[in-house]
Structure 1
Amino acid sequence: MSEPGKTKFQIDLRRHLREQEVDDNLIHLICEIAEASKYIIHSIRTGDLGVAGTSNLYGEQQLALDVLADRILRKRLDHSRVVANMMSEEMDEIIPISPDCDGKYSVAFDPLDGSSLVDVNLAVGTIVSIFEGCDLLQPGNNQVAAMYILYGPRTTLVYSVGNGVHEFGMNNLMEYTLLQENIRIEPSGNLYSPGGQRNKYTPGTEAFVTHLEERGVKLRYSGGFVPDINQVLLKGKGIFFYPHLNDLPKGKLRLLFELNPMAYLIEQAGGAASNGHKRILDLQPEEIHQRAPVFIGCKEDVKLAEEFIAKMETNQNEEESKTQAKKNSSKK
Structure 2
Amino acid sequence: MSEPGKTRFQIDLRRYLREQEEDRDLIRLICEIAEASKYIVNSIRTGDLGVAGTSNLYGEQQLALDVLADRILRKRLFHSGVVANIVSEETDDIIPVSPDCEGKFSVAYDPLDGSSLVDVNLAVGTIVSIYAGCNLFQSGRNQVAALYILYGPRTTLVYSTGRGVHEFAMNQLMEYTLVRENVRVAPSGSIYSPGGQRNLYSAGTESFVRQLEENGAKLRYSGGFVPDINQILMKGKGVFLYPHLQGQPEGKLRLLYELNPMAFLMEQAGGAASTGRVPILDLVPTKIDDRAPVFIGCREDVARAESLVAAQG
Using the size of structure 2 for normalisation, the TM-score is 0.98
* Residue in structure 2 matched with residue 89 of structure 1 by the alignment: 89
* Residue in structure 2 matched with residue 129 of structure 1 by the alignment: 129
Equivalents in 2 of 1:261, 1:146: separation in Å? 5
Equivalents in 2 of 1:3, 1:164: separation in Å? 21
How far 1:8 sits from its partner (Å)? Answer: 2.7
Structure ID, larger Rg: 1
How far 1:4 sits from its partner (Å)? Answer: 7.3
Report the 3-state secondary structure (helix = DSSP H, G, I; strand = E; otherwise coil) of the residue aligned with 2:146: strand
Summarize deviations over 1:172-221 as a string: whole Å, max 9, x none: 00000000100000000000000000000000000100111111110000
Query: 1:196 is aligned with what amino acid?
Result: G
Equivalents in 2 of 1:227, 1:54: separation in Å? 26
CA contact (8 A) 1:233 1:266 kept: yes
Equivalents in 1 of 2:225, 2:81: separation in Å? 30
Report the 3-state secondary structure (helix = DSSP H, G, I; strand = E; otherwise coil) of the residue aligned with 2:109: strand
* Residue in structure 2 matched with residue 172 of structure 1 by the alignment: 172
* Residue in structure 2 matched with residue 310 of structure 1 by the alignment: 310
Report the 3-state secondary structure (helix = DSSP H, G, I; strand = E; otherwise coil) of the residue aligned with 1:177: strand
How far 1:10 sits from its partner (Å)? Answer: 1.9
Report the 3-state secondary structure (helix = DSSP H, G, I; strand = E; otherwise coil) of the residue aligned with 1:28: helix
Report the 3-state secondary structure (helix = DSSP H, G, I; strand = E; otherwise coil) of the residue aligned with 1:196: coil
Query: 1:194 is aligned with what amino acid?
Result: P
* Residue in structure 2 matched with residue 248 of structure 1 by the alignment: 248
* Residue in structure 2 matched with residue 11 of structure 1 by the alignment: 11
Q: Does 1:210 align with 2:210?
A: yes
How far 1:59 sits from its partner (Å)? Answer: 1.1
* Residue in structure 1 matched with residue 288 of structure 2 by the alignment: 288
Equivalents in 2 of 1:197, 1:8: separation in Å? 45
Summarize deviations over 1:2-49 as a string: whole Å, max 9, x none: 747541332000011011110100000000000000000000000000
Equivalents in 2 of 1:186, 1:267: separation in Å? 12
Summarize deviations over 1:256-313 as a string: whole Å, max 9, x none: 0000000000000000000000100000111111000000000000000000001113
Summarize deviations over 1:202-259 as a string: whole Å, max 9, x none: 0000010011111111000000000000000000000000000001100000000000
CA RMSD of aligned residues (A): 0.9
* Residue in structure 2 matched with residue 44 of structure 1 by the alignment: 44
Report the 3-state secondary structure (helix = DSSP H, G, I; strand = E; otherwise coil) of the residue aligned with 1:257: helix
CA contact (8 A) 2:156 2:167 kept: yes
* Residue in structure 1 matched with residue 144 of structure 2 by the alignment: 144
The percent of aligned pairs where both chains have the same amino acid is 75
Q: Does 1:266 align with 2:266?
A: yes
* Residue in structure 2 matched with residue 71 of structure 1 by the alignment: 71
Query: 2:76 is aligned with what amino acid?
Result: R
Using the size of structure 1 for normalisation, the TM-score is 0.93
Query: 1:283 is aligned with what amino acid?
Result: L
Equivalents in 1 of 2:12, 2:154: separation in Å? 16
Distance 1:120 1:22, change over 3 A: same
* Residue in structure 2 matched with residue 107 of structure 1 by the alignment: 107
* Residue in structure 1 matched with residue 60 of structure 2 by the alignment: 60
Report the 3-state secondary structure (helix = DSSP H, G, I; strand = E; otherwise coil) of the residue aligned with 1:67: helix
Structure 1 stretches lacking a partner, 5+ long: 314-332
Matched residue count: 312
Runs of 4+ in 1 over 2 A off after TM superposition: 2-6
Equivalents in 2 of 1:10, 1:284: separation in Å? 39
